[in-house]
Amino acid sequence: MPSASASNLGDGSVPSTAAACLTRYSYRWLDLRIDCPTEHVGGDPDHWVTSCAIPDGFASLDLHGLEVPRLRYEATAEAGKMVHELIDLPPGLHLGFIPGHDVSYIYDSQRRLAEIVKLDVNDVEFYDLVVGPRDAAGNPLSIAITVPPIVSRTDGTPFPATAHVAHAYGYDAIGRLVVDHGTFADGVQFWDETIGYDDAALRRDHVIIVDDSAEVHDGTGPGYNTTHEFLDASGHVLELAHTTPGDDAPYVVDYHYDGQSRVSSQIIMSVDGFSAAIDYIYECP
Query: Is a pLDDT exceeding 90 seen at residue 6?
Result: no
- pLDDT single digits (tens) 182-204: 999 999 999 999 999 999 999 99
pTM score > 0.95 for this model? Answer: no
Banded pLDDT at 15 (limits 50, 70, 90): very high
Query: Is a pLDDT exceeding 70 seen at residue 8?
Result: no
- Interatomic CA distance for residues 233 and 241, integer angstroms: 19
Q: What is the mean pLDDT of residues 118-144?
A: 95
Please give the torsion angle defined by the CA atoms of residues 40, 41, 43 and 47, in that order, rounded to the nearest 10 degrees.
-70
How many residues would you count in the chain?
285
pLDDT at 1: 66
- pLDDT single digits (tens) 229-261: 999 999 999 999 999 888 888 899 999 999 999
HSE (CB half, 13 Å, CA atoms) of 96?
4
∠ CA 241-216-95, rounded to 5°: 45
- Interatomic CA distance for residues 111 and 75, integer angstroms: 18
Q: What is the mean pLDDT of residues 7-27?
A: 87
- Which regions of 89-198 does DSSP assign to beta strands (E)? 102-107, 113-119, 125-131, 142-146, 164-171, 177-184, 189-198
Banded pLDDT at 114 (limits 50, 70, 90): very high
Q: How many CB atoms are closer than 10 A to CB 171?
A: 18
- Interatomic CA distance for residues 17 and 15, integer angstroms: 5
Query: Is 173 within 8 Å of 146 (Cβ atoms)?
Result: no
- Interatomic CA distance for residues 285 and 182, integer angstroms: 47
Q: If DSSP codes are grouped into helix, strand and coil, which group holds residue 43? A: helix
Banded pLDDT at 179 (limits 50, 70, 90): very high
Banded pLDDT at 63 (limits 50, 70, 90): confident
Q: If DSSP codes are grouped into helix, strand and coil, which group holds residue 85? A: strand
- Interatomic CA distance for residues 249 and 18, integer angstroms: 31
Distances (CA, A) of 103 to 8, 87, 153, 230, 272: 16, 8, 28, 30, 30
pLDDT at 58: 87
∠ CA 32-37-41, rounded to 5°: 155
